Structure 1
Amino acid sequence: MKTATELRLFMVVNAEAFTRYEDHEAGIYLQVYELIQSALEEDENPIGLIQDYLGVTYTLGDSINELTSFLFHTGEMMAALQDLKENWQVLDKTLPEDSLMFGGTSKEEATEIYAETTLRNYLEALSEVTHG
Structure 2
Amino acid sequence: MTETEIYTAPVRDGAMISAPVYEGHKRGKNWMAAIAPDPAAPGGVARTFVPRGRGEYYYIVSTDLVGQPVEFGADYFSTGGKRYPKRWYGVVRALTGEEIRIEHYETAAQAIAASRSGPDRQALEEERAALLARLAEINALLGED
| TM-score band, normalised by shorter chain | under 0.3
Q: Greater RCO between the two (CA within 8 Å, min separation 6)?
A: 1
Answer 1 or 2: which has greater helix percent.
1
- TM-score, structure 1 normalization: 0.28
- TM-score, structure 2 normalization: 0.26
Answer 1 or 2: which has greater strand percent.
2
Q: Which structure: larger Rg?
A: 2
